[in-house]
């Protein structure tokens, strides 16, 4: 993008979880930086749920935000259970949200609407279609989520996170699909292992041993916490462990840590949350034990880290299992797809800890799968779609 003084009007729609929000936010930051570098300007409006996480993040980033009515469909194995009062009430909100989004699109007149998924994106996607504005749908997971499956039928372009997603797209939208990857916050890519040691006070860590970073996301994962705790005496003989456990398990795990023998306890740090030092923790980690959500997969592969993935079985559409299997099939991760127990975790991680060459090979396959330039690629797609709109008007 070489035009000087260019401006772009963008509506972003996506939310509910960080997996939908942070790719959108990273793309906005990238677009801002690229436009500012050439004297241009980005005008952006984020559409979402009034009390959603996206509203708080948009406010913190000084991004104008508009709320619309939204409705979440709660899926169930028994189709009859989907006709619950809550689902019916929510589905009735969707047409109201579509009308509200259409009015916002008509007033704002965006060059492009970028939908990054979650049920909050549906009204804005339909609003873009009704307002005849270009719509880009970005999917973070291997398979399209429910909201994006709907919006893909209306989209100008579909941005996929991996090549393996393309055959899974509806046949009629494959020709509009492009693989951009899933944007990762750039600050996570330049960590410093020594800074993690200093910031977290890891003076007892043996740098001759591999370091494991255990995480279940900001809230932690009780299932992962349980199996790691059961395996700790074995793990700590072979590795240092940074355990981000979430609020629910912090007290229990800290009490357990206090019972460990000193020669083991010095290799273990349990913390409720990892904040600004996350990039440095990633840099220190040789192996990551985590869930396999889209954001986690994007980070692990962009960083080129060996990992043991433990999918959340209740994830919508079984997406975490698909994500974990996709990496495991490429030898880019080890996946626990069956029983989640301490013996199963021990079997999964043994070769990664005992064999540095094996660990390095898995990390390299993860790096080859990852796309560090995903934000730039998605920004390029936004510009190209906007250019087509300008050309069509000329």
> In the prediction, which pLDDT does 105 show?
98
Considering the domain architecture, whether residues 278 and 318 belong to the same structural domain is answered as yes
The DSSP secondary structure of 56-107, one letter per residue, reads: HHHHHTT--EEE---------SSGGGGS-HHHHHHHHHHHHHHHHHHHHHHH
Residue 392 lies in a domain: no
Global pTM reads: 0.89
For residue 214, the enclosing domain spans 186-369
Beta-carbon contacts of residue 290 (< 8 Å; ≥ 6 apart): 213, 214, 215, 216, 217, 224, 296, 300, 307, 308, 309, 310
Q: Do 172 and 394 form a contact (C-beta atoms < 8 A)?
A: no
DSSP element (H, E) containing 126: helix 121-130
> In the prediction, which pLDDT does 1 show?
47
**How many alpha carbons fall within 13 Å on the CB side of residue 164?**
14
* Dihedral over alpha carbons 143, 147, 149, 150 (to 10 degrees): 180
Q: How far is the C-alpha of 273 from the C-alpha of 222, rounded, in Å? A: 14
Which structure tokens are listed for 311? 């999918």
Considering the domain architecture, whether residues 337 and 190 belong to the same structural domain is answered as yes
The Cα-based distances of 327 to 37, 305, 308 in angstroms read: 36, 12, 10
Q: How far is the C-alpha of 103 from the C-alpha of 130, rounded, in Å? A: 10
> Taking the CA atoms of the chain, what radius of gyration do you get in angstroms?
22
Is the CA virtual torsion 128, 134, 138, 143 positive or negative?
A: positive
CATH number of the domain enclosing 158: 3.40.50.2000
Considering the domain architecture, whether residues 68 and 21 belong to the same structural domain is answered as yes
Q: Which candidate, 231, 202, 239, 223, places its Cα nearest to that of 352?
A: 239
Considering the domain architecture, whether residues 163 and 194 belong to the same structural domain is answered as no
Residue 393 lies in a domain: no
Considering the domain architecture, whether residues 205 and 306 belong to the same structural domain is answered as yes
Is the CA virtual torsion 296, 358, 329, 157 positive or negative?
A: positive
Considering the domain architecture, whether residues 106 and 165 belong to the same structural domain is answered as yes
For residues 326-341, one letter each, b for 16 or more C-beta atoms within 10 angstroms of the residue's C-beta and e for the rest, the string is bbbeeebbbbbeeeee
- For 394, other C-beta atoms within 10 Å of its C-beta total 5
Residue 14 lies in a domain: yes
Residue 303 lies in a domain: yes
Considering the domain architecture, whether residues 209 and 177 belong to the same structural domain is answered as no
Count of domains forming the chain: 2
Q: Per-residue pLDDT tens for 127-184?
A: 999 999 999 999 998 888 888 989 999 999 999 998 888 988 888 889 999 999 999 9
> In the prediction, which pLDDT does 94 show?
87
Instruction: Provide the residue-wise pLDDT of the chain in tens; the chain has 394 residues.
Output: 456 778 999 999 999 888 899 999 999 999 999 999 999 999 999 999 999 999 999 999 999 999 999 876 555 555 555 556 665 666 678 899 999 999 999 999 999 999 999 999 999 999 999 999 999 999 998 888 888 989 999 999 999 998 888 988 888 889 999 999 999 999 999 999 999 999 999 999 999 999 999 998 867 799 999 999 999 999 999 999 999 999 999 999 999 999 999 999 999 999 999 999 999 999 999 999 999 999 999 999 999 999 999 999 876 668 899 899 999 999 999 999 988 999 999 999 999 999 999 999 999 999 999 999 999 999 999 999 999 877 776 5
Considering the domain architecture, whether residues 153 and 213 belong to the same structural domain is answered as no
Q: How far is the C-alpha of 50 from the C-alpha of 48, rounded, in Å? A: 6
Residue 260 lies in a domain: yes
Query: To which residue do tokens 């996301």 refer?
Result: 217
Considering the domain architecture, whether residues 147 and 193 belong to the same structural domain is answered as no
Considering the domain architecture, whether residues 229 and 280 belong to the same structural domain is answered as yes
């Amino acid at each position: 993008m070489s035009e000087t003084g260019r401006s772009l009007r963008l509506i972003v729609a996506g939310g509910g979880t960080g997996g939908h929000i942070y790719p959108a936010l990273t793309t906005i930051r990238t677009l801002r930086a690229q436009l500012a570098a050439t004297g241009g300007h980005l005008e952006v409006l984020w559409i979402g749920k009034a009390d959603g996480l996206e509203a708080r993040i948009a406010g913190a980033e000084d991004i104008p935000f508009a709320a619309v009515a939204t409705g979440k469909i709660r899926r169930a194995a028994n189709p009859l259970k989907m006709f619950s009062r809550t689902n019916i009430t929510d589905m009735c909100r969707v047409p109201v949200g579509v009308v509200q989004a259409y009015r916002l699109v008509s007033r704002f007149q965006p060059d492009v609407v970028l939908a990054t998924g979650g049920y909050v994106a549906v009204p804005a996607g339909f609003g873009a279609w009704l307002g005849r504005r270009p719509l880009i749908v970005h999917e973070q997971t291997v398979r399209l989520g429910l909201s994006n499956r709907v919006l893909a039928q209306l989209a100008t372009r579909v941005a996929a996170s991996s090549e393996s997603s393309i055959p899974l797209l509806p046949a009629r939208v494959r020709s509009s699909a492009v693989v951009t990857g899933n944007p990762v916050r750039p600050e996570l890519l330049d960590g410093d292992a020594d800074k993690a040691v200093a910031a977290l006070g890891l003076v007892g860590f043996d740098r001759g041993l591999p370091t494991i970073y255990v995480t279940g996301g900001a809230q932690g994962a009780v299932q992962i916490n349980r199996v790691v705790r059961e395996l700790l005496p074995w793990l700590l003989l072979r590795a240092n462990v940074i355990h981000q456990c979430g609020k629910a398990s912090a007290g229990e795990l800290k009490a357990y840590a206090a019972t460990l023998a000193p020669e083991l306890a010095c290799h273990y740090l349990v913390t409720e949350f990892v904040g600004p030092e996350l990039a440095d923790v990633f840099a220190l980690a040789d192996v990551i034990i985590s869930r396999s959500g889209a954001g986690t997969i994007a980070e692990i592969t962009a960083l080129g880290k060996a990992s043991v993935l433990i999918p959340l079985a209740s994830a919508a559409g079984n997406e975490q299992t698909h994500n974990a299997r996709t990496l495991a099939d490429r030898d880019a991760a080890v996946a626990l797809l069956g029983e989640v127990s301490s013996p199963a975790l021990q079997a999964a991680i043994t070769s990664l800890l005992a064999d540095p060459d094996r660990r390095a090979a898995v990390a390299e396959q993860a790096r080859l799968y990852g796309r560090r330039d995903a934000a730039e690629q998605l920004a390029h797609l936004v510009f190209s779609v906007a250019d087509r709109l300008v050309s069509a008007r000329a």
